[in-house]
Structure formats: structure tokens, C-alpha cells
Amino acid sequence: MIVNLVRGRDASEALQLLDFTFKSGAPFVKKLIASAVANAKQKRPGLDTDTLFISKAAVDKGPNMQFRRWRPRAQGRATRITKGVSHITIELDQR
């Protein structure tokens, strides 16, 4: 949902938009976009960062992380604790 919000926008506009988005994943996407902008500056020192926009953005399901921790259940049983993991891909391009 958050990635759909920033896909196709300018990088600076996307960072400002994520500042005011009250979703739990917004800080992670914001950090990722800021890192991508910093990587672009590092690779090309003469690059104008105002021309960067988010050309591709995708979120895929990562591996099912099963910790070796257990949660007690009824009748003496137990279930594993599972945590959700996602892979977020952001690509920047120049206009």
C-alpha cells in the first residue's frame, strides 16, 4: 500500500509524503528511498538529485522466518512463533 503511494513520484516528493504517512511501514520505505538517493549521489558525484524519480518499486514475500520459540496453546500443545518478512525493491531513474 505504501509502495503504491510513492511509485512514479519524484524521490524528494516521496520522502516528504512518507513523513506524514501514518502507516507502520512508512519509516522503512522512507529509509530505503533515502539510502537509494545517497547511493546514486555516491556513484555519480555530479548527479542532480532533484531529477531522480522512483521508476520501479515492488514488495515481495520473503522467507517464512520460523524462530525456535514456542507459544503455549490449549491442552498442553505449542505452536511456533512466525514472523512476517518482506523484500522491498526500489529503483531510481532520471527524468
Cβ-based neighbour number of residue 3 at 10 Å? 18
Residue 60 has a pLDDT of 93
pTM above 0.85, yes or no: no
Residue 67 has a pLDDT of 72
The arithmetic mean of pLDDT across residues 2-15, rounded, is 95
Q: What are phi and psi of 77, to 5 degrees?
A: -90, 170
Q: Which domain holds residue 50?
A: 2-94
Query: Tell me, what CATH number does 34's domain have?
Result: 3.90.470.10
Tens digit of each residue's pLDDT (9 = 90 or more) over 12-54 = 999 999 999 999 999 999 999 999 999 999 999 889 989 999 9
Q: How far apart are CA 7 and CA 66, in angstroms?
A: 31
The tally of domains found in the chain comes to 1
Please say whether the beta carbons of 86 and 62 come within 8 A.
yes
C-alpha cell of residue 47: 548527479
Tens digit of each residue's pLDDT (9 = 90 or more) over 62-84 = 887 777 789 999 999 999 888 77
